[in-house]
Every structure is written in structure tokens, then in C-alpha cells.
Chain A
Amino acid sequence: MITRRIIPCLDVKDGRVVKGVNFQGLADVSSPVELARYYSGCGADELVFYDITASAEGRALFTDVLRQTAACVFIPLTVGGGINTLDDFDRVLKCGADKVSVNSGALRDPSLISRAARRYGNQCVVLSVDAKRVDGQFRVFARGGREDTGLDAIEWIKSGVASGAGEIVLNSIDTDGVKDGFDLEMLSAVCGVVDVPVIASGGAGSIQDFVTLFRTLPGVGAGLAASIFHFGQVNISELKRALAAEGIPVRL
């Protein structure tokens, strides 16, 4: 039986892990390589490295961190942030990424999804979407949640999957950083229209939030979170034992 995945997300800037609350107020947390190794030991099923660096020097630091991580952590690594071209895919895949997540890059040029899927396979292309309720609609936001694109999230995700995205990360801006549970309504709307795995992101504050997520939405394959793991509010091995005790299939 396929297990539900727990995925810590590491926002990396200049080679260090940071995490914002509602995308603002970044705080330095720890070394990405050490954190990745720690999470893998706790039973994390995958890791997401999100590169929030803008400079070329930062990019080089990021790929260094990625290589060092891939050399000692043997679970899947997804890389996102600043992926705008096939060369960007190439750069991170060569350094140990298994999947590459596109967000703003795909909004600027939707053909990025189909071109990447053709070259690297659908399984390699993750479409990450930041969405927020606007006028009774789930609206896609760009630039780290700062810019309303006017696009309907459901339509955007459907077209992304049709173009070849093999997985969706749905981050609800409405619940992100609030720590009061995942956005079940938004996730349910997305799960209902796509055939590929959906990763829930934004809003987890406790073990119970993951239990509720997986109980309520059988279509959600994984739960992703950052600061609650980084700051020790939720311990991943405890979380997975708790899920197993609730009858939710996990890898122990």
C-alpha cells in the first residue's frame, strides 16, 4: 500500500535555511545539509529545497549545498525557486535533484512545463502553486505570493497537468503561517480535478493537522511544512508514529 509522505521544506538563501511567516520576516535557522540529514534520519520521506537566492553567488552556494546533501541523504530531493529555463532544470538535476518544481517560471512561460516534461519526463516536473481566495475564487499568486496573476487556480493546475506536470504542490496563502490546519477546502477542489499526486502545503501547526488532512482527503499524497519542523514544534518521527497509530499508512 502506498504510504502518505511527510515532506519538510527548506528555504535556502546564501547556503542557509530560512523560513518566512506569511512570506515575510525571514529568520535564519540552520545548515541545510545538517538539517536534511537530520530529517532523513527522523523518517522524512522527501525533502524540498527552495532556492530563494537572487544572486549568481547565491546560486552557486545553493548547488553546492544540493550536491553535499545528495551525497549523504538518500531520499528524494525536489528543488524549486528560480527555475525559469531548461538550463535551470539541468543545473539542479546534475547536482542531485530528482524533481524540479516550477512556479513563477511556468506562469511567465507555460511552455516550460511541456518542454521540461518532454525532456526529463512528467515525473520530474512539479507544478507549485501559491493560491489565495479572491472574490470567491482560488486565485494564483506569483512572485512568492505578492502578485495576483488573475488566473483561476483550478484552471491553471488543470492546464499544468495537461502540459505534463507530474505532481502538484498546492500552497494556500490563506492558511500559510497561521498554523491552524491545512486548507482542506482548496485542496479538495484541486484533488477533484487532477489525476496526479497532490502535496498539501501551508497551515500545518500540529500533528492533528496532518491526521485531519490525510483522513479527510484520500487524494492528498503528502503533507509539506517548514517552520513547525525546523523549530521542533512537530517532530517528524513522532508525527509518523501518530499517523500510523491512527491507521494512516506511513513509512516507519
Chain B
Amino acid sequence: MLAIVDYGVGNLFSLTCSLQAIGAEAVITGDEGVLASADRVILPGVGAFGDAAAALRRTGMDKAILREAEKGKPLLGICLGMQLLLDYSTEYGRHRGLGLIPGSVQAIRPVVPAEYKVPHMGWNALHFPGDRPAHPLFRYIKEGDCVYFIHSYAGTDCGEHTIATAEYGPELTAAVARNNVCGVQFHPEKSGAVGLNILKAFCKL
């Protein structure tokens, strides 16, 4: 059973539908016990980092997630959920993340060319280090496959933990991973067949 962390942030309807479509049994939960009994965990999220990080702490989900990650359980952060895995964000002040993967969250406006629109919104091609997907999360997809992005902040300085990027002027962090913990900046539940294949691969980690 797969647990989708419910901490009052974001819209879980589409994510749940996409998991149903690939035949995964998913429950939406804010309960530590359910999280502990799940095989794998998805941390979703939209909106502002500071609010979401505060909501995680208020609901005690921060500690529960860290506990499950520590056990070696596969954890996937999506969009803001990916950003929350990092050390901190500079969105509207400085806010602490879960620190599961090294790196910080920074505005993309200063790093993308002036003529590029922000948010980075739309379908962009994934690039993998060495031009081929090495991480098992991407076992069913290939270099250049497009996924749907919608964000104004991105993970930076994730170093060797960056497992995919997307070109938007510079290469922006598209996915990160460290041991059993991974995160994607894009929305697999909104990325058609490619996205469903990423979720399918996560269910096999």
C-alpha cells in the first residue's frame, strides 16, 4: 500500500486518480500509523514553501516522514514535495526543509534569461547525466521525454544527487535522489504516459 501524505496542502485528487490508473493501491493519510504500515510514501505539495513546511511540522508529519525515510522506505516528493526534501528554501524568507537531500530551493528568475517567462510552465524534455536515465525511477522512460513543469523556484546545489534536469536557459533541477528518497520537480500525475511510467517505476522501487 502506498501512502500519500495529507498535511492540508495541495490537491490530491489527480494524484490519487493517476495512481488508480496504474493499479496502485493508494491511501491519503495524515496518520503516523498508516504511514508506518505503508510500503512507500508520496509527499505531494503545491503553494508556498514556508506554509507547507509549517503545515508539515504542525501535523507532526515532518517527524513521521523522516522516520519512514530512515527505515529505508521509498519516498517520492512531487513538486513542492520535492523541494521540501531539501535543506531550505528562500521563497518569501528562509525556511527549513526536511534535509533528506542536500541542496536549497532558489528563485529561478535570476538564473533564467530575461526573455524566458516565469513560472517555468509547460512540457519540457528531461535530460539525464550521461544522456541516459540511470536511476530506477526512470527505468521506463528515455532521454528527451517531456514532462509537465509548473514552478518559479527550483532545487539548487543538489550536486551528485541531481538525477535529471530540464533546459530553461540553464539546466534546472528536475529530479533528485539519495538512497531511498527521491523527488521530482515536475508533475508525473499530469505528464501523460511518461508520468504514469515514472509512478509505475516508483511503485517497483
Residues on A facing B (Cβ under 8 Å): 1-3, 5, 40, 45, 67, 70-72, 74-76, 93-96, 98, 119-124, 166-167, 195-198, 218-219, 221-222, 251
Chain B, residue nearest A66 (CB): B13
Closest CB of chain A to B110's CB: distance in Å? Answer: 13
Inter-chain contacts of A40 with B (CB < 8 A): 192
Inter-chain contacts of A96 with B (CB < 8 A): 11, 13-14, 17
Inter-chain contacts of A121 with B (CB < 8 A): 46-48
Closest CB of chain A to B5's CB: distance in Å? Answer: 18
Inter-chain contacts of B94 with A (CB < 8 A): none
Q: Can you list 12 A-B contacts (CB < 8 A)?
A: A2-B124, A5-B123, A70-B17, A75-B191, A75-B192, A94-B13, A98-B150, A121-B48, A122-B152, A123-B46, A123-B151, A124-B46
Chain A, residue nearest B167 (CB): A1
Pick the contact of A71 from B20, B148, B193 — CB < 8 Å? Answer: B20
Residues on B facing A (Cβ under 8 Å): 11, 13-14, 17-18, 20-21, 46-48, 109, 115-125, 146, 148, 150-152, 167-168, 187, 189-193, 195-196
B11–A45 CB distance below 8 A = no
Inter-chain contacts of B117 with A (CB < 8 A): 195-198, 219, 221
A70–B146 CB distance below 8 A = no
Chain A, residue nearest B150 (CB): A123
Inter-chain contacts of A166 with B (CB < 8 A): 119, 121
Chain B, residue nearest A119 (CB): B47
Closest CB of chain B to A94's CB: distance in Å? Answer: 6
A123–B148 CB distance below 8 A = no
Pick the contact of B123 from A70, A95, A197, A251 — CB < 8 Å? Answer: A251
